[in-house]
Amino acid sequence: MLEAFLFIILLLTITLPVSYLIGKYISIHFDNEKNKRLSKIELFFEKIEQPIFKVCNIDPDKQMSGKEYFLSLFLSNMVISGIAFLCLYFQNVLPFKGNVNYQLELPLILHILSSLITNTCQTHHIPELHLTHLSNYFIMPLLMFYSSASGIATGLAAMRGAVLSKLGNAYADVIKSMTRILMPFSLITSIIFAGLGMPNTFKPSIEYTSLENVKQKIITGPIAAFEAIKLFGENGLSCFNSNSAHPFENPTYLTNFLELVCILIVPIALIFTLGFWLKNLKQSIIILCVLISVLVFEFTTVSYFELKGNPFINKITEQSSPNWIGKETRLGIVGSSIFGAAVSNVSGSSNSSLDSFYPLVNLFGLFNLSNQSIFGVQGFGLVFTINFILYTAFFIGLMLGKTPELFGKKIEKNEIILSSILLLLNPALVFIGIITTLILYPDNSNNFYNHVHYFTRIFYEFASGAASNGSGLEGLSDNNTYWNLSLAIVMFIARYGAMAAMIFLGYSFANKSSLPLTVITFRTDTILFGFIFLFMSFISTILIYIPFLALGPLIEILMYR
């Protein structure tokens, strides 16, 4: 466990200061303040963006309404998806095919598009077999960049409306998210990764002769660059079927550590941005203390049980040994365990088989996917965090007998309706998906554990899709028409339904006047509020999901005992 403690301490020691600086950077570049004096770096990026705005006929200073902002994001996402659809459908007649000559089926294409444009990156295809070099290394990153930028823009718009009383411009926010956050940081990350051993070439493959005098072909590509946007954009999609367990995508213990840093930086940075915009960093620190304490608890608990090993195997072998099943030895038990615990919080990327972990990991994963506020996916996790803060402030206001407030603005009927949509949309989609699947495709096994684990796999698959996460327990043989279409629909409705609710919630707050602090105002930047916020976040998730958690991973944990 000493390794786990040192790993976590070093991870936070590096991530928090870097996230603080990036959070301050984002707060300056996205505050939309007029007539402010621009720094040299802002002037540099404006010279890059102005031609783009001019060609696309975009006025970056134009403030949009909630409807305009959502429709601008939604329609631009659909245009990008349309271009990607044509490229994937006709990939066999387009250049740069590499070693692949595969005609993608329509349901699989729809699943890929829905998965990528919603920042979910759930994978039912095998990149090495199903995607040409052009599709894998151009179309996939294009969708990953745009979906990540759309997520950041949504989160910033909702937060800007609640704090700064303005929504902003959707096109400007998306373009600036790419030019000022995703592209420069991905470039830096890709250079570091390439220096640490990840291939970064446009050659689709290399041939060599093994020691046994057998000619073999190894698939390559711009893997370091792909990995950078995959991690920094919290996409999780891999250019290889084995994801971050592949030695090209994650060659060493050091790259494994840096990948964890990459997926945590932006979610933490956005919470610091909230504090900078509120001119109250104490608010950010309270939120981060709550979320990081949950994260550290999950990291240490998962590491403990994986180091302890599988009790059944230990009983048979009559010795205590760690659970190495489904893990890469070069990454270690701790490196795999902490990565696995982080998967369901921030990114669908995985460096080991989640299905091989102790059932407690699946319980944590399903709870995180259901809660979505423990950092969560790019931009959206921030709004789910604010949503639970809103609920906490609302119930505290009711108990105190005064009008509830959030960041100095009244919480009224409209905000509660939109907040409830955010809270209930995903559970509704997950429950419908689980029920439909169990009716159409029941488990015919005679083994009770297989019944339980089949339910857990279905639950995880839909929860991951609805939460824009993309990780999975596998074992469902999900590359078929039913799974591809059902999950494409779930991902699409969950993403854009939540996006609409978030944007309209921010716009609703933007149209409210700020109230001055009084002696009876219940502040949201106190330790007491942090404890209540943690309780409200947990109890809301448990009340909604406890029957489904009990039917799956909880029974598996009891069976392990």
Is the pLDDT confidence value at 520 over 70? Answer: no
- The mean per-residue pLDDT over the stretch 64-89 comes to 91
CA angle 308, 312, 315 (to 5 degrees): 85
Is the pLDDT confidence value at 389 over 70? Answer: yes
Average per-residue pLDDT for the chain:
85
**Which residues is 216 bridged to in the sheet?**
208
Residue-wise pLDDT for 167-179, tens only, equals 888 999 999 999 9
Per the CB < 8 A criterion, the answer to whether 489 and 113 are in contact is no
Tell how far CA 106 is from the center of its chain. 26
Least confident span in 59-73, 136-150, 279-293, 444-458: 444-458
Is the pLDDT confidence value at 303 over 70? Answer: yes
Per the CB < 8 A criterion, the answer to whether 23 and 269 are in contact is yes
Per the CB < 8 A criterion, the answer to whether 205 and 225 are in contact is no
Per the CB < 8 A criterion, the answer to whether 229 and 148 are in contact is yes
Residue in the structure block whose two tokens are 């089949």: 454
Distance CA 522, CA 362 (A): 37
Residue in the structure block whose two tokens are 């704090």: 163
What band does 560 get if pLDDT is binned at 50, 70 and 90? low
Distance CA 477, CA 458 (A): 11
Contacting residues for 428 by C-beta, under 8 A, at least 6 apart: none
Tokens of 291: 């979320």
Name residue 368's amino acid: N
Most confident of 341-345, 499-503, 518-522: 499-503
Is the pLDDT confidence value at 561 over 70? Answer: no
Distance CA 289, CA 272 (A): 12
What band does 490 get if pLDDT is binned at 50, 70 and 90? very high
Residue in the structure block whose two tokens are 């309209």: 504
Is the pLDDT confidence value at 125 over 80? Answer: yes
Residue-wise pLDDT for 46-62, tens only, equals 888 899 888 888 888 88
Secondary-structure percent of the chain, ordered helix, strand, coil, rounded to 5? 70, 0, 30
- The mean per-residue pLDDT over the stretch 204-223 comes to 81
Distance CA 384, CA 368 (A): 12
Q: Is 219 helix (H, G, I), strand (E, B) or coil?
A: strand
Q: Outline where 213-331 has alpha helix (H).
A: 223-232, 253-278, 281-308, 311-317
Is the pLDDT confidence value at 439 over 80? Answer: yes
- What secondary structure, in 3-state letters, does 325-350 show? CCCCCCCHHHHHHHHHHHHHHHCCCC
* DSSP symbols for 46-107: HHHHHHHHHHTT--TTPPPPHHHHHHHHHHHHHHHHHHHHHHHHTTTTSS--TT------HH
The confidence score (pLDDT) of residue 519 equals 62
Residue-wise pLDDT for 135-169, tens only, equals 888 888 889 899 999 989 998 998 888 888 888 88
Per the CB < 8 A criterion, the answer to whether 276 and 387 are in contact is no
Tokens of 212: 């046994």
Least confident span in 30-39, 87-96, 162-171: 30-39
Is the pLDDT confidence value at 517 over 70? Answer: no
H/E element holding 495? helix 481-510
**Which residues is 205 bridged to in the sheet?**
219
Distance CA 360, CA 552 (A): 11
What band does 326 get if pLDDT is binned at 50, 70 and 90? confident
Q: Shortest CA distance to 119 belongs to which of 429, 465, 463?
A: 465
- The mean per-residue pLDDT over the stretch 282-306 comes to 88
With a threshold of 0.85, does the pTM exceed it?
yes
Tokens of 25: 């950077």
| % of the chain with per-residue pLDDT over 70 | 98
Distance CA 42, CA 523 (A): 34
- The mean per-residue pLDDT over the stretch 364-386 comes to 80
Is the pLDDT confidence value at 489 over 90? Answer: yes
Residue-wise pLDDT for 549-558, tens only, equals 887 788 877 7
Tokens of 343: 């998967």
Distance CA 38, CA 11 (A): 33
Tokens of 454: 């089949």
Per the CB < 8 A criterion, the answer to whether 110 and 484 are in contact is yes
The confidence score (pLDDT) of residue 409 equals 80
Contacting residues for 201 by C-beta, under 8 A, at least 6 apart: 220, 221, 222
Per the CB < 8 A criterion, the answer to whether 426 and 491 are in contact is no
Most confident of 208-212, 293-297, 315-319: 293-297
Q: Shortest CA distance to 263 belongs to which of 372, 350, 175?
A: 350
The confidence score (pLDDT) of residue 79 equals 92
Per the CB < 8 A criterion, the answer to whether 357 and 302 are in contact is yes
Residue-wise pLDDT for 256-265, tens only, equals 899 889 888 9
The confidence score (pLDDT) of residue 457 equals 87
Tokens of 528: 């007491």
Q: Is 162 helix (H, G, I), strand (E, B) or coil?
A: helix
Distance CA 152, CA 267 (A): 9
